Structure 1
């Protein structure tokens, strides 16, 4: 392994990946995150404009959060999870301070951990509990201004940011917040 890149010296996409990968390895060691990094590919997205990072993964049949996935049943999986890709966004890295970027990475590690165990991931109760364990939020900080912000009527928590008109915005009365089960307000 080469010399570790200092956060303040990150200049290229390769540096973002190198620094982020090392930080995530530290999180695994210090916070007890159950992730196999040999099954994680890393990239910096050239297209992402609104999401700070994402875990790209295959959609697997009958996968459900909270139910360990039987990786043996997939041809070619050899009993181990199929690889996923942790896709990072340069604009988010540049907009966030170090604390926000670290929290973003911990958020994504929850997704990787869920995927590798359960074959899928979401932002439900299990995610929220694990995010709290890792001192991160359910939603990553915004670095682009959304056109629509939806919040929970009962507690005011952020439910979603949308950058264009969509079904959730148009038909928000049909949806409920995950936090309180309340209606959604358009802010």
Structure 2
């Protein structure tokens, strides 16, 4: 039976983790459910002072993926927990990739939502997706293209509305109102 609540998801994830063949001290991992994440399905947090490891799973990602696909996210985050517990650090490098392969876990989890905003260069093909109104989105004149250094414009993907200045952002935000 698939989890239908956040608490059920965390309980199911903990039970599932017990069957994953990885040398992780599960009793030393805290599990949380995120309501805020808009693109990452999970995160593994580490406090080097206390060596505490927390796996944070995203409810919206679980709802988008379903249990079967979401177990890939759990295995992915367990690889991070393994690295933190064994080495005090984690990334997506060679060591991570090898352990993830052993567990049939993805090296990178796919996003579960479409970006709401896109930065597009005025001179080259560079673009970047944004899920929230970051400083680069709100104040595009203070930033430059990541590839060629030119100015860029910001596009609200769903509406197609674009802006190049902070004032343009404010006008767009106001005009889009509930559609933001």
Same fold (TM over 0.5): yes
Q: Could you tell me which of 14, 19, 35 is aligned with 1:21?
A: 14
Who is 1:3 aligned against?
Answer: none
Which is bigger in relative contact order (C-alpha 8 A, separation at least 6)? 1
Post-superposition offset of 1:37: 1.0
| CA positional deviation for 1:170 | 3.3
1:43-77 C-alpha deviation (Å, 9 max, x unpaired): 1012222211101112x4xxxxxxxxxxxxx6xx6
SS at 1:87's partner residue? strand
- Runs of 4+ deviating beyond 4 Å: none
Partners in 1 of 2:92 and 2:26 — Cα distance?
22
Question: Which residue number corresponds to residue 45 of structure 2?
Answer: 56
TM-superposition CA deviations, 1:8-53 (whole Å, max 9, x none): xx121110100011001111xxx2x010011100110122222111
| Structure 2: distance between partners of 1:170 and 1:111 | 32
The aligned length equals 131
Contact 1:107 1:131 in 2 (8 A): yes
Q: Which has the larger radius of gyration?
A: 2
In 2, the alpha carbon distance for the partners of 1:161 and 1:84 equals 29
Q: Deviations over 1:66-123 (max 9, x none)?
A: xxxxxxxx6xx6xxxx221111110001000333101111100100000000011000
When normalised by structure 1's length, the TM-score is 0.62
Structure 1 residues 109-152: Cα deviation after superposition (integer angstroms, max 9, x where no partner): 10000000001100011111111111121111211113569xxx
Runs of 5+ consecutive residues of structure 1 not aligned to the other structure: 1-5, 61-73, 150-159, 174-187
How large is the RMSD of aligned CA atoms in angstroms?
A: 2.5
Of 104, 127, 130 in structure 1, the residue corresponding to residue 73 of structure 2 is 104
> Does 2:145 align with 1:170?
yes
User: Is the 2:35–2:60 Cα contact (8 Å) retained in structure 1?
Assistant: no
Q: Which runs of 5+ in 2 are unaligned?
A: 120-127, 138-143, 149-180
Q: Please name the residue that 2:91 is paired with.
A: 122
Structure 1 residues 23, 148: closer, same or farther in 2, change over 3 A? farther
The answer to whether the 8 Å contact 1:110/1:130 transfers is: yes
